[in-house]
Amino acid sequence: MTYNTNRYTIFGFYAIILWSCNVALIRSISEQMGPIIGGGSAYIAGGVVAVIRLFLKEGSLKRIKEIPLNYLFGCGGLFLIYTLSLFLAVGLADNRVQSIELGLVNYLWTPLTILFSIFILSIKADYKLIPGTIFALSGIFLVMNSNGSISFASFAANFMSNPAAYIFGFIAAITWGLYSNLAKFWGDPKAIGAVPLFVLITGIILTISGLLMTERNQFEIKTIVEIVIFGLITVCSYVFWDMAMQRGEIILVASCSYFTPFFSTAVSCIYLKTIPGINVWSGCVFIIAGSLLSWRSVAGKESYKK
């Protein structure tokens, strides 16, 4: 690998670490402000900083005009859908334990990124992809049997207790898996990344939507601090991830993200002061194992070139 590839791949690792804080902050902000306005406020805060930084770069306006339109609108639309779905999933959770469950459902995007890369980027995979996908789905099955018993009846009952939240969780996983591949397929490595614009526009749309829905508005010192921190984390993680997807080793970065479900669950437990049951932790392990097997199925077979 070249130096630049190494550098952009490492940016992807930074994104994974930052993302581990997302579920905890999203749930905390949602409890105080509601998921839509809370998410919108954080994205506006981070988006303003990112856009200012973007336009301070020499020649940034010219490079923005060079952004491929299919990347700008296609990936921008997926970015908006993902963000909205994730905030609604975690924000609509009945309690904090369920918000951790939904965070893990969202992390199904890890093996999905690798699965989608076969069709979108023409990356070859071997037989390990099948058990990898089965393990990941089994992990979701365990997570959604958090009441202790393990059965399809329990899975269905848990899903039907809050179907909207779980549906949004699955939509988030699918859209981010697609985004991660299409950012490389549609993006131009020589053009400037549009993530700062995605973040700011998404924040504006979410905030307006939240105001129209008359969500509760509870501003405290803790709320403001969390919004600012989450906004900065959001911008940095998405910018890092977008650069990694466009210019780094997409399979290596996506596969290393199998650590994220565990880190995210651990951070959420500490920050939200709650401990999920053994099924959630077991499901987390299965998701990680599935992601690892999925990575092994394509390791060394990355063949996509712009």
Q: Summarize pLDDT for 115-146 with one digit per residue, the tens.
A: 898 889 888 888 888 898 899 889 888 888 86
* Rounded Cα gap, residues 86 and 42, in angstroms: 14
pTM for the model: 0.83
Structural domain includes residue 154: yes
Q: Which letter, b or e, does each residue of 214-234 get, where b requires 16 or more Cβ atoms within 10 Å of its Cβ?
A: ebeeeeeeebeebbebbbbbb
Percent above pLDDT 70 for the chain: 89
Number of domains the chain contains = 1
Structural domain includes residue 152: yes
Closest to 143 in 3D by CA, of 192, 111, 106: 106
Q: What is the pLDDT averaged over residues 95-109?
A: 88
Structural domain includes residue 304: no
Burial of 306 (0-12, 13-18, 19+ CB in 10 A): exposed
Tell whether the model's pLDDT for residue 89 goes beyond 70: yes
Structural domain includes residue 303: no
* Rounded Cα gap, residues 125 and 244, in angstroms: 21
| pLDDT single digits (tens) 19-54 | 888 889 989 988 888 888 888 888 898 888 888 877
> Which residues form the domain of 219?
3-298
Structural domain includes residue 175: yes
pLDDT score at 249: 81
| pLDDT single digits (tens) 247-275 | 788 777 866 777 788 888 888 998 988 88
